[in-house]
């Protein structure tokens, strides 16, 4: 039984690592332009930004408090939002898809790569959640003018 539990834990850990993969796009557009593009693309899709997490600001503000001297981002924000239509669709397929809601897209400029802005989101599992992934991809691409 103990061996089974260890194997099961390893499988779950591997699945968790795979679930953390992301889709990302880079651009030489300014952070502000891309962030504005993300907000507009979300609104143009008929959605509402629920929350903007200013991750870069928070990490810089607390850097010394946690004993670090490394600056990670020039700027970094995460946009959280939901879609009633898409969420209903994926949760009718499996109510436990609630774990993925709300949906997030990040915009970041790494401190060690000034002038390069990254837009991305986490990948979702095959099946119904690909509808969410397609929505996020459309928003990310629209923000970049693609």
Statement: the pTM of the whole predicted model exceeds 0.85: no
* pLDDT, tens digit, 9 for 90 and up, residues 59-75: 999 999 999 999 999 99
* Chain segment 130-145, per-residue pLDDT in tens: 999 999 999 999 999 9
With a cut of 70, list the residues of the chain below it in pLDDT: 1-20
CB atoms within 10 A of CB 33: 15
Domain boundaries, the chain: 21-143
> Does the 21-143 domain belong in CATH 3.60.15.10?
no
Joined tokens for residue 29: 């557009």
């Amino acid at each position: 039984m103990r061996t089974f539990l260890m194997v099961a834990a390893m499988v779950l850990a591997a699945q968790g690592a795979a679930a953390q993969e992301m889709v990302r796009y880079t651009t030489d557009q300014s952070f502000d332009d891309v962030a504005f593009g993300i907000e507009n693309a979300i609104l143009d899709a008929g959605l509402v930004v629920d929350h903007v997490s200013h991750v870069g600001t928070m990490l810089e503000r607390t850097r010394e408090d946690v004993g670090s001297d490394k600056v990670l981002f020039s700027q970094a924000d995460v946009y959280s939002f939901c879609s009633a239509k898409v969420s209903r669709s994926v949760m009718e397929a499996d109510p436990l898809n609630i774990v993925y809601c709300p949906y997030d897209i990040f915009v970041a400029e790494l401190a060690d790569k000034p002038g390069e802005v990254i837009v991305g989101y986490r990948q979702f599992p095959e099946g119904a959640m690909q509808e969410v992934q397609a929505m996020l991809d459309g928003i990310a691409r629209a923000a970049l003018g693609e």
